[in-house]
Amino acid sequence: MGEKYTVDGDIPPWTRLVDFLREKAKLCGTKVVCREAGCGICTVVITRPDLEHEGRYKTYSVPSCQTLLYACDGWSIESVENLGDRFTGYHSLQKALHGFTGTQCGYCSPGMIMHMYGQIQNGPLTMSQVERSLDGNLCRCTGYRPILDAFKSFAVDADQVLKNKLTDIERQ
């Protein structure tokens, strides 16, 4: 499914993953704004060997503006393009963010989605964990409540109103 990229010596050692994704791989779903790990908009999900447990891998979200391309050797990188689109169908997180009206201009949305996608790779979260985990993702439009409600609807302790709304969205 994924595409393998080989980097040659023409790419300078200070190149960030976000720039490679956008400019070389032409995967522009990953946005970039602050370039200092302050807004979360460039978030992607990586899977890399777990250095503490031989033969095992770790999956989690990272700000691609702070990830040096050459550090990614042997890693698997998922950007928002891998989750879903209007041709292949949307991931349930994407459907929920839309269904809860958690996106307006949409610029922060890929980063929000990828951050939450990375979080749930390591097991379900509680509502409080969802709220705390999103403190590195900024949105200038929505006021955060609909974004939090969308993602809290997946929490193990989600309240029934959120669960019902998620069920309705998934049926559409």
Residue 166's closest CA among 90, 99, 121, 117? 99
Contact 163, 155 (CB under 8 A): no
The region that residue 55 occupies, defined by phi over 0 for left and psi between -120 and 50 for alpha, beta otherwise, is: left
Question: Least distance in Å: CB of 21 to ligand FES?
Answer: 12
Question: Least distance in Å: CB of 156 to ligand FES?
Answer: 26
Contact 148, 116 (CB under 8 A): no
| 33 is a site residue for ligand FES (CB under 6 A) | yes
Nearest residue (CB) to ligand FES, 144 versus 163 = 144
Q: Using CB under 6 A, count the residues that bind ligand FES.
A: 22
Residue 68, strand partner residues: 16
Question: Least distance in Å: CB of 32 to ligand FES?
Answer: 5
Nearest residue (CB) to ligand FES, 27 versus 65 = 65
Contact 83, 91 (CB under 8 A): yes
Contact 40, 115 (CB under 8 A): yes
**Binding-residue pattern over the window 38 to 57 for ligand FES, x denoting contact by CB under 6 A:** xxxxx---------------
| 158 is a site residue for ligand FES (CB under 6 A) | no
Site for ligand FES in 55-114 (CB under 6 A): 63, 65, 103-108
**Sign, CA torsion 19/20/25/31:** negative
User: Of residues 88, 101, 132, 140, which one binds ligand FES by CB under 6 A?
Assistant: 140
Note the residues at the interface with ligand FES (CB under 6 A).
Answer: 32-35, 37-42, 63, 65, 103-108, 139-142
